[in-house]
Structures are given as structure tokens and as C-alpha cells.
Amino acid sequence: MILRKTLPLIALCIVLSCKNEPPKEALEKVTMDEDYDPEANLSALRIELRPIGSPVANYVHAVRTGNLLFLAGKGPRQANGENVVGKLGLDLTVEEGYNAAREAGINQLSVLKEELGDLRKVKRIVNVKGMVNAIPEFAEQSKVINGYSDLMVAVFGEKGKHSRAAVGMGSLPGNMAVEVEMVVEVYE
């Protein structure tokens, strides 16, 4: 009984230890679902990705280590080039904050597309850190950052579900309403 269960594992170990490794394309076919098409989902949502431009300070948009891609914080720059600004609980409603977080998500997707060339290379959205510019009494940070999280799930499906922090900040650069960082696992 034990031999029958371990024999396939032994055969797999022999195949994997041979000198001729399978081509990378073969491995990707095994790991990537043929129906997985985040860019088609973007099109269905009528979302156009935007040019990301150069960083405004001494940082880069993304750093890759192994199969993880760490994305720098992005704010809610809209298609017209203007940021959504203001404090939640004072200048902006939860709904306006939700939409601002969604804009930050579109900007992060633009970075991903530029870095990877193809959004199908996203294996999983791993972690999101959402920062909300809010008055001290504001307690709806999670509802605001849902604008970002809901977009990731709409684009990547189950692969878009992630761990997350949604925290309040006393201020953000340029008085932006939100800023969001992300960690992504990629194929390759």
C-alpha cells in the first residue's frame, strides 16, 4: 500500500532531478489557467490603464525579488492627472474615499502591466496596505480601502483576494485621500 502511494512521487523526483529540465513554457502552461485573463476583465469593466510616469522622489515603482513584486505606494491620480485630495470624515465621504482607493488600484494595475507586460503573469495579489488620510475620529478605513480590494478581485478573481491593512493617517503627500502599497506573487 505504501509503495503504491510513494511510487508516483519517486518517479516525479527522478524526472525533476534529470539534467534536461522542461522548458519554461511547459511549466507556465501547467501553472497558468487558460481562462485566466485579467486584461479581458479590465476591458469588461471599461478600465483603461494609464502611463505611470517617473517617480517623483528617490524610489522606484516596483522591486522584484524572486517571484514577489513589491509595489511602491500609489495615490488616487485620476485619468485627468489630478489626485483626489482631502481628509475622510471632513472633506470626503466614504463613497468618495472608496472611489479614490479604486483610482489608486487602477494606478497600481498600470504599474503591474508596465513591469510584467502581461497581467496573466500575476499569480496572486498577496498583501495590500491601504493608508487613508482621515480625521482622528474617522473609523471607516476598511470601507474606503474596499474600493481597492474590490477592484483587485474584479480583475483577478480568486487570485485577487489578499491579506490587508487599512489604516488611518494624519496626512498623506499632497493631501491625497489614500495611498496604497501592494505585494504581488508572479509566475516565472
Could you give the count of Cα atoms lying within 13 Å of 69 in the half-sphere of its Cβ? 23
- pLDDT value, residue 163: 98
- pLDDT value, residue 102: 98
Find all residues with CB under 8 Å of 160, minimum gap 6, and list them.
125, 149, 152, 153, 154
Find all residues with CB under 8 Å of 149, minimum gap 6, and list them.
128, 160, 162, 164
pLDDT tens per residue across span 77-110: 999 999 999 999 999 999 999 999 999 999 999 9
Q: Under a CB-based contact definition with an 8 Å cutoff, are residues 121 and 27 in contact?
A: no
Low-confidence ranges of the chain (pLDDT < 50): 1-22, 24, 26-31
Q: Residue 79 — φ and ψ, nearest 5°?
A: -60, -30
Find all residues with CB under 8 Å of 134, minimum gap 6, and list them.
87, 88, 89, 141, 168, 169
Q: Which of 122, 145, 130 is CA-nearest to residue 69? A: 122
Q: Residue 93 — φ and ψ, nearest 5°?
A: -85, 170
| pTM of this structure | 0.82
